[in-house]
Amino acid sequence: MTSSSIDAEGKQLKTDFLKSVDFNQYDWFKNTKNGKYVEDFKKKIFGAYVGEVQLDDIAKKMYGKDRLGMMFGTLIEDEYGDPIAILGAYSNMRWVENEMTNLYNVLASNGMNSAEIHLINKAGKPIAFFGESGGY
For 14-53, how does the pLDDT look when each residue is reduced to its tens digit (9 = 90+)? Answer: 999 999 999 999 999 999 999 999 888 888 888 999 998 9
Domain that holds residue 69: 16-92
Domain total of the chain: 2
Shared-domain flag, residues 103 and 36: no
Please give the distance of CA 84 from its chain centroid, rounded to a whole number: 23
Q: CA 93 to CA 44: how far, in whole Å?
A: 23
For 97-126, how does the pLDDT look when each residue is reduced to its tens digit (9 = 90+)? Answer: 889 999 999 999 999 989 999 989 889 998
- Residue 39, sorted as left (phi over 0), alpha (psi -120 to 50) or beta, turns out to be beta
Residue (of 88, 91, 81) closest to 31 by Cα position: 88
Residue pair 67/50 in contact (Cβ under 8 Å)? The answer is no
Structural domain contains residue 1: no
